[in-house]
C-alpha cells in the first residue's frame, strides 16, 4: 500500500526584523487607542513633568478624579516602589511622603542628583491597573567661571587673550564677557564632561589694549536656567604697561629774584618712573640749582637763571619729557593772586563811593525843595510894601512871623 502524502500549505518566510516592526506597531496602536479610551476615565492617574536643579527638592504629585479605595503607588526610574499609599517601600531618606489621600499621592525628593533624572511611574491598582508617567529633568548647576590669561601684563598697543571656563552645567551654559556695562564678543566652545552627564563650556576673548585699559575690570558671566538668582560672574583686572607722561609743576606762578624756588617733575606711567634727569636747554644748569630726584631746587633765584628747563623720565617701558620756561621777576612784582585781592578791594571801595554819591544827591534835592518853600512864604505881603523893611513887617504873621522866619533862617 502506497503511503499517502498529505498536502501542505507553504507560507512565505518573513525576516525576523520585519515581524518585530509589525509587532511594535501593533502594540503602539493598541496603546494609543487605550489612551484615547482612558482620557475620560475617572480612575486614570494624572501627573505633571517637573524640572529641578541639582541639590534642589522636587515634588511628584499623582491624582485621580474618583477612588474605589484602590491604593496609589509611586515607582522610580528603575521601577522600584517608592511609596504604596502612605507606606514607604524604599529606604531612601531623601524621599518623603508629602500628602496621601484617597485621590492623591504626593512625595518629595530632596538633594536631587543627576542620577535622579528620568521617568517616574504612578500606578493605581484597580482592575485593570492604570499607570501614568512623570518625567523629571535635572539641571546641572554650572560652577563659578574661572578666567585665565596668556600673560598677566601687556604693553600698550599689545594684544591679550582671556579664557573663561565653567563646568558642571546641564544643558550647556552660556558665557558672556563684559567691560563695565558694555558686552563684548567672545568665541564659545563646549565639551562633554567625562561623566557624560554635564558640560564644560569655554570662551575666549581677544583684546588690543591701550593705557586707558589699565586697571579696567573685565567680567565673565555664566548664564543658565538653574541660576534663578541671576548670572554668576568673575572679574579680572587688566594690567597695561605704558611709558610715562610728564609735566613740570612750579612751586609758584611768580618766581621772584632773591627767593627760593623749585620745580617738580611729575611722571605718570606703569610702572612708576624710576629715574629723573634735569637739563637746561642751551646751557648747563645754574650753580645754585640742585637736582633732588624729581625736584630741581633753586636756593637763590637770579635773572641769569632764566631759560628753558627740561625733565626726562624713564620707567623701563619708555621715556617721556617736558619743558618749563623760567622767567625770574623783580622782587617787587605782585603775584596774580595779590592782584586779584587788590581788584576785589578796589571794587568794594567803588561801590561804597557810589552809595555815598547817591545819598548826597538825595540830600541835596531834599534841601533845595525846602528852601523853595521858605522863599515862597517870605514873599507873601510884600507886593504893596514901598520898601524892603515894610515888606518884611507886612509879611504874613507880622513880627512874630518875622521872628520865626529869622529863627528858621538862622
What digits encode the pLDDT tens for the residues 224-250?
999 988 789 999 999 999 999 999 999
- The boundaries of the domain holding residue 360 are 354-409
Asked if 145 contacts 227 with a C-beta cutoff of 8 angstroms, the reply is no
- What's the pLDDT score for residue 20? 34
We report the CATH number of the domain holding residue 173 as 2.60.40.10
Pick the residue with more confidence: 282 or 114? 114
DSSP state for residue 335 in the 8-state scheme: P
Element (H, E) at 221: strand 217-223
Please indicate, yes or no, if residue 210 is contained in any of the structural domains. Answer: yes
Of residues 237 and 406, more confidently modeled: 237
Quick one: 368 and 278 in the same domain? no
The helix/strand/coil state of 173 is coil
On whether both 75 and 118 belong to a single domain, the answer is yes
% of the chain surpassing 70 pLDDT: 78
CA 98, CA 88: separation in Å to the nearest integer? 12
Q: In the chain, how many domains are there?
A: 4
What is the torsion angle, in degrees rounded to the nearest 10, for the CA atoms of residue 109, residue 110, residue 115 and residue 118? 30
- Residues 210, 221: contact at Cβ < 8 Å? no
Per-residue confidence band for 387, with pLDDT thresholds at 50, 70 and 90: low
**Would the pLDDT of 103 be above 50?**
yes
> What pLDDT is recorded for position 384?
55
Q: Is the peptide bond before 171 cis (omega within 30 degrees of 0)?
A: yes
Q: Residue 334 — pLDDT band, cuts 50, 70, 90?
A: low
pLDDT of 167 > 90? The answer is yes
* pLDDT value for 403: 45
Predicted confidence (pLDDT) at residue 311 exceeds the cutoff of 90:
yes
What pLDDT is recorded for position 300? 92
Handedness of CA 263, 269, 274, 276 (dihedral sign): negative
Task: Please state the rounded mean pLDDT for residues 82-103.
Answer: 94
**C-alpha cell recorded at residue 237:** 583686572
Report the pLDDT averaged over residues 335-356.
Answer: 71
Single out the residue in 139, 160, 180 at which a domain terminates: 139
Mapped onto helix, strand or coil, the DSSP state of residue 344 is helix
pLDDT at 346: 75
- Chain length of the chain: 410
pLDDT of residue 405: 43
Per-residue pLDDT averaged across 312-338, rounded? 85
pLDDT in the model for residue 30: 34
Q: What CA–CA distance (Å, rounded) separates 187 from 212? A: 24
- Confidence band of 13 (pLDDT split at 50, 70, 90): very low
The region of weakest confidence among 82-91, 112-121, 370-379 is: 370-379
Q: Are residues 134 and 88 in the same domain?
A: yes
Regarding whether 85 and 51 lie in a shared domain, the answer is yes
Burial class (CB in 10 A: 0-12, 13-18, 19+), 157: exposed
pLDDT at 408: 41
User: What is the average pLDDT across 377-401?
Assistant: 50
pLDDT band at residue 14, thresholds of 50, 70 and 90? very low
Assess contact for 60 and 106: CB atoms under 8 A: yes
Mean pLDDT of 268-273: 93
Domain assignment present for residue 85? The answer is yes
In a domain, 252, yes or no: yes
Helix axes 336-379, 398-409, angle to 10 degrees: 170
Place of cell 507560507: 11
Q: What is the mean pLDDT of residues 368-383?
A: 55
Site of grid cell 535635572: 138
> Residue 258 domain-assigned?
yes
| Domain stops at, among 186, 205, 237 | 237
pLDDT value, residue 349: 85
Instruction: Identify whether residues 129 and 216 lie together within a single domain.
Output: no
Say yes or no: 131 and 49 in one domain.
yes
Q: What is the pLDDT of residues 51-72, one digit of tens each?
A: 999 999 999 999 999 988 899 9
**128 and 46: one domain?**
yes
127 and 47 belong to one structural domain: yes
Assess contact for 404 and 397: CB atoms under 8 A.
yes
Residue 283 reports pLDDT greater than 80 = yes
- Assign residue 163 a region: left if phi > 0, alpha if psi is -120 to 50, beta otherwise? beta
Question: Would you say residue 18 lies in a domain?
Answer: no
Cell of 372: 523853595
pLDDT confidence of 10, banded at 50, 70, 90? very low
Is there a domain that residue 178 lies in? yes
Q: Rounded mean pLDDT of the chain?
A: 82
The pLDDT of residue 343: 63
Alpha carbons 92 and 110: distance in angstroms, whole number: 10
pLDDT at residue 240, as a whole number: 96
Short-list 115, 107, 171, CA closest to 134 = 107
Q: 176 is written with which cell numbers?
A: 558672556
* pLDDT class of 37 with cuts at 50, 70, 90: very low
Check pLDDT > 90 for residue 6: no
The rounded distance, in Å, linking the Cα atoms of 166 and 187 is 14
Of 217, 237, 257, at which residue does a domain stop? Answer: 237
**What average pLDDT score do residues 328-346 get?**
67
Residue 15 in any domain: the answer is no
Strand order through the sheet with 104-109: 58-63, 104-109, 95-100
Would residue 81 count as lying in a domain? yes
**Sequence-separated (6 or more) residues with CB below 8 Å from residue 54:** 112, 113, 114, 138, 139, 140, 141, 226
Amino acid at each position: 500500500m502506497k503511503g499517502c502524502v498529505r498536502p501542505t500549505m507553504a507560507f512565505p518566510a518573513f525576516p525576523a526584523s520585519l515581524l518585530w516592526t509589525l509587532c511594535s506597531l501593533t502594540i503602539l496602536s493598541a496603546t494609543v487607542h487605550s489612551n484615547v479610551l482612558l482620557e475620560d476615565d475617572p480612575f486614570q492617574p494624572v501627573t505633571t513633568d517637573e524640572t529641578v536643579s541639582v541639590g534642589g527638592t522636587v515634588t511628584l504629585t499623582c491624582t485621580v478624579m474618583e477612588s474605589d479605595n484602590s491604593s496609589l503607588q509611586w515607582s522610580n526610574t528603575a521601577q522600584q516602589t517608592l511609596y504604596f499609599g502612605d507606606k514607604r517601600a524604599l529606604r531612601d531618606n531623601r524621599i518623603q511622603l508629602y500628602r496621601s489621600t484617597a485621590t492623591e499621592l504626593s512625595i518629595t525628593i530632596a538633594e536631587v542628583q543627576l542620577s535622579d533624572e528620568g521617568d517616574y511611574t504612578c500606578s493605581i491598582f484597580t482592575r485593570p491597573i492604570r499607570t501614568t508617567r512623570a518625567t523629571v529633568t535635572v539641571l546641572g548647576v554650572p560652577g563659578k567661571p574661572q578666567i585665565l590669561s596668556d600673560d598677566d601684563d601687556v604693553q600698550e598697543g599689545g594684544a591679550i587673550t582671556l579664557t573663561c571656563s565653567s563646568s558642571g552645567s546641564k544643558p550647556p551654559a552660556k558665557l558672556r564677557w563684559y567691560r563695565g556695562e558694555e558686552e563684548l564678543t567672545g568665541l564659545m566652545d563646549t565639551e562633554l564632561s567625562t561623566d557624560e552627564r554635564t558640560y564644560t563650556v569655554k570662551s575666549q576673548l581677544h583684546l588690543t589694549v591701550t593705557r586707558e585699559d589699565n586697571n579696567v575690570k573685565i567680567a565673565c558671566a555664566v548664564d543658565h536656567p538653574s541660576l534663578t538668582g541671576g548670572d554668576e560672574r568673575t572679574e579680572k583686572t587688566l594690567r597695561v604697561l605704558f611709558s610715562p607722561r610728564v609735566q613740570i609743576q612750579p612751586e609758584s606762578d611768580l618766581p621772584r629774584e632773591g627767593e627760593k624756588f623749585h620745580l617738580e617733575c611729575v611722571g605718570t606711567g606703569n610702572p612708576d618712573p624710576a629715574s629723573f634727569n634735569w637739563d637746561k636747554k642751551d646751557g648747563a644748569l645754574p650753580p645754585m640749582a640742585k637736582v633732588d630726584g624729581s625736584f630741581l631746587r633753586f636756593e637763590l633765584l637770579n635773572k641769569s637763571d632764566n631759560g628753558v628747563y627740561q625733565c626726562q623720565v624713564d620707567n623701563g617701558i619708555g621715556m617721556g619729557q617736558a619743558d618749563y620756561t623760567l622767567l625770574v621777576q623783580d622782587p617787587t612784582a605782585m603775584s596774580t593772586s595779590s592782584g586779584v585781592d587788590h581788584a576785589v578791594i578796589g571794587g568794594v571801595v567803588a561801590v561804597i563811593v557810589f552809595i555815598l554819591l547817591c545819598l548826597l544827591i538825595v540830600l541835596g534835592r531834599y534841601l533845595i525843595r525846602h528852601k523853595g518853600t521858605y522863599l515862597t512864604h517870605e514873599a507873601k505881603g510884600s507886593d504893596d510894601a514901598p520898601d524892603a523893611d515894610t515888606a518884611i513887617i507886612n509879611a504874613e504873621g507880622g513880627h512874630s512871623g518875622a521872628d520865626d522866619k529869622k529863627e528858621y533862617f538862622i
